[in-house]
Structure 1
Amino acid sequence: MSFFKAIRIDQRAETCDARYVDMAEEELMPGDVDLAVTHSAINYKDGLAVTGKGAVVRRFPMIPGVDLAGRVTRSTHPDFSAGDLVVATGCGVGEAHYGGFAERARLSGDWLVKLPGTLTPARAMTVGTAGLTAMFCLLALERHGLAPTDGPAVVSGASGGVGSFAVALLAAAGWRVAAITGHPAEADYLTSLGAAEILAREAFAQPGKPLQSQRFAAGVDTVGGVTLANILAQTQFDGAVAATGNVGGMDLPASVAPFILRGVALLGVESVRPRIALRRAAWARIATDLDAALIDAMCEVIPFDQALERARAIVTGKIRGRVVIEMP
C-alpha cells in the first residue's frame, strides 16, 4: 500500500479540524487520471476551508487546494498519458473533490489542461484561479468585439489577485489601464503590472448618477455592488464590463440607463465550471501574453510544511501576492 502526505479537513461536532496526515492512495476519490502533485497555491477560498469560516467544503473529509499542477502517473483518459504536465483549477476541486494540498491527486481528465511548454508548474500555480479568471474576463471582452483602440479599460479591486492579473493581461494586450484600489501604497506595484492610471476606491464607493461621464470602453470588475454600478454608469457607448466578484456586495444598485441608452453590456464571468475548450484557450493565451519575470515577481514559494499556517493567515489579510506550495 502506497502512502502520501496531505492536509485533510475533518468535521468534528460544529468545527472543522485541518491537519497534516498520511493517507493511502486507496483513499483517493474516483477519477481517470492520477497525478504526482508538484505545486499548489493558497487561495482565499482555501483559507476559508481550513479555518471553517466559510461554507466552502461540501463534503468531509476533504483535502483543500482549489489549484494544483503536477505530472500524470496513470491515465485511462484519452487526452492524457503518464509523464504529461497538467494543471487543474476550480471544477469543485478542494471543495467537493480532494484537492491540491497533497502529494497525490486523482481527478477527472475532463478537468485538466496540459501545461503549455513555456509555462512551468510553479508559474501555472502563481497564475492559478486568479489569473485564469482574469483571462476569462479579457476573452469575454474580446468576444464582445472590444479592442484597445476603442478607449481605456478600468479594473476594480486592482491590487487583489484577479485584479492584479487583469491589469497585467489588459496592459499586455495593448489596453491603457486605469486601476481602482483602496491601497495607495500599491500604486508602484500596479504601475509595474502595466497600469497607466491609479484611481481611488473612494471615488467609486458612493452611489452616483445612473449615467455619468463616459470614461471607459471596457472594464473588469472584481468588487460588485456600488462600485460596479458606478463603472457601468461611466462606460461609454457600446462598451462592456466583465463582472466576476462580489466583495462589495451581491446587490447591484444600478438602473437600466447604461444598458438602454448607451448599449453597455454586462458580461458575467465565472471560473469554476470545466468548459475545457475555454480553459485551454485561456492557458494558451496566458503562456504567450504574460512575461515570465512578471509572474515570478508576484510569487512566493513555500514548502508544504508551511502551507497550513499560511492558509490560515490568508483570511486575516496578511498575505500579499500569490503563495505557491512546492511539494516535497
Structure 2
Amino acid sequence: MKALLVEKDGDGPAKPAIRDIPESDLPEAEVTVAVEYSTVNYKDGLCLSENGGGLVRKYPHVPGIDFAGTVESSSDDRYAPGDKVVLTGWRVGEAHWGGYAEKARVRADWLVPLPAGLTSRQAMAVGTAGFTAMLSVMALEDHGLTPDKGPVLVTGAAGGVGSVATMILSGLGYEVAAVTGRPETGDYLKSLGASTIVPRADLAETVKRPLESEAWAGCIDAVGGDMLARVLGQMKYGASVAAVGLAGGAKLPATVIPFLLRGVNLLGIDSVMQPYENRLRAWERVARDLPMDKLEAAVQPATLDDLPKLGAAILQGQVKGRVVVDIAG
C-alpha cells in the first residue's frame, strides 16, 4: 500500500517520503479502513516537520489526524465491511498511525459512522477543523446564544476552524464579524457569510481597562493570547467565548473582571477526546446545518505528494480554508 511515511535517521531531522509498505506494518487494532480522503490540520504540519512538533512518539510514522473511508475488515460487531466511517482525534496521526496512507487500522471506539447525506470527501472538507467549529457553535448555543442576541466574533477566520465557523453561523442566521490579519482574504470571508471584516490589528493589543463597550454576543476564538484577553472585555453581558486554539500564544494576560461584572463564560473546546455521543450530535449537525456549496468553495484539493509543502505552509499561516487530500490521487 502507498503511504506518506515520515522517517528519522538517528539524531537527524525527520523527513517525509512516499513509500510502498506492507499492510502488515499497520498497528494492531480492530478495524481496517480503506482510506479515501484525509485533510491537513495544524497538528499535521507539526507531525510532518523535522522534529515532529513534539507530537510524534516513534518513527517511522504515518501522520494524518483525520480520515474518511470504507471499512475493509472488522473484528468489532459495530462495523462491517462496506461501512462508511470517519475518524478525527484520539491522537491518531500523532501517537498512532493515521490517514496519510491507503489503509489505516484503528480502534472501533475511535470511529464514527459517516452521517447520512455526507460523502467521504465532504467529511474531510469538514475534518477536525469543521468538527471543532461545530462543537464551538453547539457550546455557544447551549449557553444561550441565539441570532437575535447580536453579532458573533470569529477570530482567525480565514483558517480552517474560522472558515467553517463562519459558514455555519451565517447559515444559521447569525451576523458574523470575521477577524483576519490577511486583508486579501476579505472577499473570501464575505463569500462564506461574514457580515463584517475586523482587521487583526484592531484586537491585537490588550488595553489597560478590563472592560470595554459591549460588542459581541458570542465569540469563537482560534487565537488565544492577547487577542482573547482583549475580546473578553468586549463581550456582552452573559455572553460566551468558545476557545479553540492558541495561534497567538498560550498565555492569557487577562483579569477576572469580565467574568465577575458581566458574567462572561470562557468555554474550552476539545475535539480530540470528545465522547462518542457528542461526536454523533456534532456530525449530525454538520450534515444538517453546514452549507455544502460554501464548503466546496473553500476546498483546496491535494494529493499525498503535496503534503510536505502544505504541512510547512499551514505552520506559517499560509493555508486558506480547507485542504482535502485524495489518497488515491
TM range (shorter): over 0.9
Alignment of 1:109-258 (within 5 A): 109-208=108-207, 209-258=209-258
Equivalent of 2:50, from 26, 49, 52?
A: 52
Residue in 2 that maps onto 1:28 = 26
Residue in 2 that maps onto 1:9 = 6
Q: Does the CA contact (< 8 Å) of 1:59 and 1:95 recur in 2?
A: no
- Deviation above 4 Å: which 4+ runs of structure 1? none
| 1:144 Cα deviation from its structure 2 partner | 1.2
In the alignment, the residues of structure 2 paired with residue 239 and residue 318 of structure 1 have an alpha-carbon distance, to the nearest angstrom, of 31
Residue in 2 that maps onto 1:300 = 300
Aligned amino acid, residue 207 of structure 1? T
In the alignment, the residues of structure 1 paired with residue 201 and residue 184 of structure 2 have an alpha-carbon distance, to the nearest angstrom, of 15
Structure 2: runs of 5 or more not aligned = none
Aligned amino acid, residue 194 of structure 1? G
| 1:190 Cα deviation from its structure 2 partner | 0.8
In the alignment, the residues of structure 1 paired with residue 311 and residue 227 of structure 2 have an alpha-carbon distance, to the nearest angstrom, of 28
In the alignment, the residues of structure 1 paired with residue 23 and residue 56 of structure 2 have an alpha-carbon distance, to the nearest angstrom, of 21
Alpha-carbon displacement from aligned partner over 1:21-63 (angstroms, at most 9, x marks no partner): 1221111112111100011112222222122252121222210
Q: Does the CA contact (< 8 Å) of 2:156 and 2:222 recur in 1?
A: yes
Aligned amino acid, residue 76 of structure 1? S
| 1:317 Cα deviation from its structure 2 partner | 4.3
Secondary structure at 2:166's aligned position in 1? helix
Q: Does the CA contact (< 8 Å) of 2:219 and 2:242 recur in 1?
A: yes
In the alignment, the residues of structure 2 paired with residue 252 and residue 317 of structure 1 have an alpha-carbon distance, to the nearest angstrom, of 21
Task: Compare 7-16 and 121-130 and name the one that shifted more.
Answer: 7-16
Structure 1 residues 299, 89: CA separation in 2 closer, same or farther (over 3 Å shift)? same
Q: Does the CA contact (< 8 Å) of 2:167 and 2:291 recur in 1?
A: no
| 1:270 Cα deviation from its structure 2 partner | 1.3
Number of residue pairs aligned between Structure 1 and Structure 2: 325
In the alignment, the residues of structure 2 paired with residue 89 and residue 251 of structure 1 have an alpha-carbon distance, to the nearest angstrom, of 27
Q: Does the CA contact (< 8 Å) of 1:59 and 1:96 recur in 2?
A: yes
Structure 1 residues 314, 225: CA separation in 2 closer, same or farther (over 3 Å shift)? closer
Aligned amino acid, residue 158 of structure 2? S
| 1:249 Cα deviation from its structure 2 partner | 1.1
| 1:118 Cα deviation from its structure 2 partner | 1.2
Residue in 2 that maps onto 1:39 = 37
In the alignment, the residues of structure 1 paired with residue 63 and residue 273 of structure 2 have an alpha-carbon distance, to the nearest angstrom, of 17
- Aligned CA RMSD, in angstroms, stands at 1.4
Alpha-carbon displacement from aligned partner over 1:148-167 (angstroms, at most 9, x marks no partner): 12221111111111111111
Alpha-carbon displacement from aligned partner over 1:231-274 (angstroms, at most 9, x marks no partner): 11010111110011111111111111110101110001111114
After TM superposition, the score normalised by the length of structure 2 is: 0.95
Identity of aligned residues (%): 45
Secondary structure at 2:82's aligned position in 1? coil
Aligned amino acid, residue 271 of structure 1? S
Aligned amino acid, residue 222 of structure 1? A
In the alignment, the residues of structure 2 paired with residue 84 and residue 140 of structure 1 have an alpha-carbon distance, to the nearest angstrom, of 30
Structure 1: runs of 5 or more not aligned = none
Aligned amino acid, residue 149 of structure 1? D
Residue in 2 that maps onto 1:87 = 86
Aligned amino acid, residue 109 of structure 1? A
